[in-house]
């Protein structure tokens, strides 16, 4: 019988994987973040909470590296939820598997 243990990896691996996932394409990254925000609003609305669905996108242009800030007013995350979503590589966390009216 195989034993199990937690897998840990360096922060640089997470950055490399994020780069690969969005292929250094800002639009792909924006679509991912906005989809996550929209899914959060959908979960709130499905639970009977009224929302405005507001997603604010700000761009601060700089010479070399611009800053894009995205803000919503949806569910947010507790520390434990953040650990589960960000701290578990490859885990299904959107709620799609639980039929929670999200896109994945």
What is the per-residue pLDDT for 47?
94
Residue 44 burial (10 A CB sphere; 0-12, 13-18, 19+):
middle
pLDDT band at 88 (very low <50, low <70, confident <90, very high): low
pTM of the model: 0.61
- What DSSP designation does 97 have? G
For the chain, the average pLDDT equals 80
Per-domain boundaries in the chain = 11-90
User: 11-15, 54-58, 69-73, 83-87: which range is least confident on average?
Assistant: 83-87
Matching residue, tokens 């640089």: 12
4-33 pLDDT per residue, tens: 677 676 778 777 777 776 667 788 888 888
């Amino acid at each position: 019988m195989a034993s199990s243990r937690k897998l840990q990896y360096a922060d640089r691996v997470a950055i490399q994987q994020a780069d690969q996932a969005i292929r250094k394409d800002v639009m792909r990254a924006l679509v991912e973040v906005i989809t996550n925000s929209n899914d959060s609003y959908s979960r709130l609305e499905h639970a009977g909470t009224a929302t405005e669905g507001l997603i604010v996108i700000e761009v601060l242009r700089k010479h070399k590296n611009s800053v894009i800030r995205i803000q919503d007013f949806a569910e947010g995350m507790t520390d434990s939820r953040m650990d589960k979503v960000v701290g578990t590589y490859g885990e299904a966390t959107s709620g799609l598997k639980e039929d929670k009216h999200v896109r994945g």
